[in-house]
Structure 1
Amino acid sequence: MISEKNKSNRAKQQTNHTAGRTSFVRLRQIRSESDEHLIDFFKEVRWSKKKGKFVTPATEEKHNEMVAKYSKLEPEKQTKDVVASIFREVLGHRPGYARGLGEMVIPESSRQNTVEKFAALTERAERHEKDAEYYKNQLEELGGNVEKVLAKQAEYDKLLSSYMESQRQTQGESHRETQGPA
């Protein structure tokens, strides 16, 4: 059962390698001191020293495709970062995994990305804080205006009330005058 599954998985491999039991991550650590880039590393772990050629034709095609893309670049643009992007473009890429290098590749640090996000959020928070202060001042000003309107309304109500009272008194006197003495 397990044997069949292993055979099936082995048949799915597109590019075989010659690294044996040593993991790609370990090989990269060993060779990190050298100035070797990923395209050279790809060739080294897929080149058969006995046969003097690549392990499979598919491996050779992928290598040739990477070399062609790399050789089209101007010499000043031939950096390790560019090589890494060509490597990912040809072999495929998903976060935390680089095809052709094994599963346990540590993803590039996102610390820089986090710092940029933090700076953007801080800027946004400061802008919202300024907006909140502006609207708070507007609300306080509006509250002051409402108090003034209410004070004026109270004065108007008093004035209207005294006018109505004087009108009633005047009407009461004129009514008595029209009716005469009783």
Structure 2
Amino acid sequence: MSKGNKKNRRKQQVNHTGGRKPFVRIMEEMNEQVPNLIAFYKEAHWSRKKGRFITDTAEKNYNLMLERLDETEIDAGNRDEASNAAFKEVLGFRSGYATGLGHSVVPEPSPYMRNNRDYQRIVEENEKNKNDVNLYKSQLEAVRADLLEFKNQFKDYERLMNTHMADLECRRESHQVTPIDA
């Protein structure tokens, strides 16, 4: 087991100064001191004793992050977002794992899902359409109920009119018959 651990340790290209602490705990401890992921990367991979990065790869990654950050046009409010994007761009993406932050951090959606804004728009549009359909169904039922009520009222009115017409017809016939006989 020890030989296997040594072998795996040699494969690790980027070490950190956190020891056994998970990155999430280190981030919590440095919350006010470290404003973004690039600054956190430097803190987690910088040796205070030696005054430099732990490995050359860590230094190379940090410099790449700074280059990417300099390449982007940054507003004053978006500096943290831009630095976080540069961090993720340099370290890459692994499905189900927040690269550079360890296993304890919930990863962001895959690049496919992040870039698939059309899918998100369609899902939102579908939900809106379902709500609209339910609204229109209830309105249609209300209109049908009103129409049925008007139909019934019209039938009652028609019966009443037929009754009045029959009475008028009867009176007219009786009125016409009476003057002639007298």
Both structures adopt the same fold (TM-score exceeding 0.5)? yes
**Using a 3 Å threshold, how does the CA distance of structure 1 residues 35 and 61 change in structure 2: closer, same or farther?**
closer
Paired with 1:87 and 1:32, the residues of 2 have a C-alpha distance of 17
- Per-residue CA distance 1:98-137 (angstroms, 9 max, x = gap): 222111112359xxx9x9675333245468888xx9xxxx
Equivalence for 1:104: 104
Contact 1:38 1:84 in 2 (8 A): yes
**Using a 3 Å threshold, how does the CA distance of structure 1 residues 117 and 96 change in structure 2: closer, same or farther?**
farther
Contact 1:92 1:98 in 2 (8 A): no
- Gapped runs of 5+ residues in structure 1? 134-182
Contact 2:74 2:82 in 1 (8 A): no
Paired with 2:11 and 2:70, the residues of 1 have a C-alpha distance of 30
Number of residues paired by the alignment? 127
Paired with 1:70 and 1:7, the residues of 2 have a C-alpha distance of 36
**Using a 3 Å threshold, how does the CA distance of structure 1 residues 100 and 30 change in structure 2: closer, same or farther?**
same
Paired with 1:20 and 1:28, the residues of 2 have a C-alpha distance of 14
Q: CA deviation at 1:79?
A: 2.5
- Per-residue CA distance 1:70-101 (angstroms, 9 max, x = gap): 12233417422222221111011234422221
Contact 1:66 1:90 in 2 (8 A): yes
- Gapped runs of 5+ residues in structure 2? 110-116, 141-182
Aligned-residue Cα RMSD (Å) equals: 3.1
Provide TM-score, normalisation by structure 1: 0.58
Q: CA deviation at 1:67?
A: 0.6
- Per-residue CA distance 1:37-70 (angstroms, 9 max, x = gap): 1111101111111111111111110000001111
Rg larger in 1 or in 2?
Answer: 1
